[in-house]
């Protein structure tokens, strides 16, 4: 990463105490981030099956040992991201948060759903508010932040120190800019037009190809991002059908260029 990106954290996950401590030490030595974050929140099946992510919430003693091991292995602050519990029957955001703080976590991010909820239903922001009241370390709120106004509402509802935006930013990186403006008491910036969206989508794709390899598989994997970037546009369904067939960067560039020409002609008619 570039120095201009600091402060930056690197997130790790796993269920083996020694391996996690070693990972924390290696990340510290080789990448020198500003902090290390432990993921106890990922609900994805392939991660949970190996007891990683939110799978660790079924064994809070293990969670304690993982955090303590990582803290001992690095001079950097260790932070955590987690959920309100494994299931509704074990939902205990405050209890979980206090244990993680006691184990050495220097900041705490809460996605206010349980693992069994995955991303269904609504995030219970009251969980975040209760954790804010209980902890001495900064608390970051997460869950259902899809608009700049959502960010303001969460801050007001929970008094959290900060927010973490995830799925709401898919295809909408302008969400961060707009939320920052509202938090600073400024007017919300104008929404990007299709040309702006396409320019950013293509730059995003170029970076993906640069980092992951300029291959057909990388481009196929990126199709979903094109779908997110084009949500809400006139004729989006037809546009996405074309984008979901792309195999090369040139294909996407041509499709976007054709769309802009056709919409300009329609507007002039």
Report pLDDT digits (tens) over 123-138.
999 999 999 999 999 9
Taking the C-alpha atoms of residue 184 and residue 106, their distance in angstroms, rounded to an integer, is: 26
Report pLDDT digits (tens) over 42-63.
998 889 988 889 999 999 999 9
| Domain that residue 133 falls in | 3-183
Q: 226 pLDDT exceeds 60?
A: yes
pLDDT band at 264 (very low <50, low <70, confident <90, very high): confident
Terminal CA-to-CA distance of the chain, rounded, Å? 47
Q: Are residues 78 and 117 in the same domain?
A: yes
Report pLDDT digits (tens) over 192-204.
999 999 999 999 9
pLDDT band at 269 (very low <50, low <70, confident <90, very high): low
**CATH code (residue 110):** 3.20.20.70
Q: Are residues 140 and 252 in the same domain?
A: no
Taking the C-alpha atoms of residue 154 and residue 84, their distance in angstroms, rounded to an integer, is: 16
What's the structural domain count of the chain? 2
Residue 161: is it exposed, middle or buried by C-beta count within 10 angstroms (0-12/13-18/19+)?
Answer: middle
Q: Are residues 105 and 8 in the same domain?
A: yes
Residue 139, beta-bridge partner list: 108
Report pLDDT digits (tens) over 148-191.
999 999 999 999 999 999 999 999 999 999 999 999 999 999 99
Give 91's contacts (C-beta < 8 A, 6+ positions apart): 84, 85, 114, 127
3-state helix, strand, coil in the chain (%, to 5): 55, 10, 35
Q: What's the pLDDT at 1?
A: 84
Q: 217 pLDDT exceeds 80?
A: yes
Q: Are residues 171 and 202 in the same domain?
A: no
**239 is written with which tokens?**
């546009």
Report pLDDT digits (tens) over 182-193.
999 999 999 999
Q: What's the pLDDT at 51?
A: 82
Q: Are residues 144 and 211 in the same domain?
A: no
Taking the C-alpha atoms of residue 221 and residue 66, their distance in angstroms, rounded to an integer, is: 33
Q: What's the pLDDT at 49?
A: 85
% pLDDT > 90, the chain:
92
Whose structure tokens read 């074990």? 90
Domain boundary among 183, 208, 237: 183
Q: Is residue 188 part of a domain?
A: no
Task: Provide the 8-state DSSP code for 118.
Answer: T
Q: Are residues 37 and 85 in the same domain?
A: yes
CA 239 to chain CA centroid, nearest Å: 26
Q: Are residues 143 and 10 in the same domain?
A: yes
pTM of the predicted protein model? 0.92
pLDDT band at 96 (very low <50, low <70, confident <90, very high): very high
Q: Is residue 71 part of a domain?
A: yes
Q: Are residues 177 and 262 in the same domain?
A: no
Residues with active-site annotation: 42
pLDDT band at 27 (very low <50, low <70, confident <90, very high): very high
Q: Are residues 8 and 109 in the same domain?
A: yes
Q: Is residue 214 part of a domain?
A: yes
Q: Are residues 173 and 72 in the same domain?
A: yes
């Amino acid at each position: 990463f570039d120095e201009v990106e600091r402060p930056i954290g690197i997130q790790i996950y796993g269920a083996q105490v020694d391996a996690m401590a070693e990972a924390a030490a290696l990340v510290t030595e080789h990448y020198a981030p500003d902090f290390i974050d432990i993921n106890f929140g990922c609900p994805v099946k392939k991660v949970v099956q190996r007891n990683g992510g939110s799978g660790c919430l079924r064994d809070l003693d293990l969670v304690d040992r993982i955090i303590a091991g990582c803290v001992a292995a690095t001079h950097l602050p260790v932070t955590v991201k987690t959920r309100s519990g494994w299931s509704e029957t074990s939902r205990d955001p405050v209890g979980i948060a206090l244990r993680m703080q006691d184990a050495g976590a220097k900041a705490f991010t809460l996605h206010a759903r349980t693992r069994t909820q995955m991303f269904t239903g609504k995030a219970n922001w009251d969980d975040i508010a209760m954790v804010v009241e209980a902890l001495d370390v900064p608390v970051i709120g997460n869950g259902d932040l899809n608009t700049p106004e959502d960010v303001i509402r969460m801050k007001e509802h929970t008094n959290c120190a900060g927010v973490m935006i995830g799925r709401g930013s898919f295809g909408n990186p302008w969400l961060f800019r707009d939320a920052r403006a509202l938090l600073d008491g400024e007017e919300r910036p104008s929404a990007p037009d299709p040309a702006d969206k396409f320019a950013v989508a293509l730059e995003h794709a170029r970076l993906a190809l640069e980092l992951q390899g300029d291959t057909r598989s990388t481009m196929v994997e990126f199709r979903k991002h094109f779908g997110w970037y084009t949500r809400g546009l006139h004729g989006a369904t037809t546009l996405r059908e074309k984008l979901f067939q792309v195999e090369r960067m040139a294909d996407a560039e041509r499709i976007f260029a054709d769309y802009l020409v056709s919409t300009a002609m329609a507007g002039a008619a």
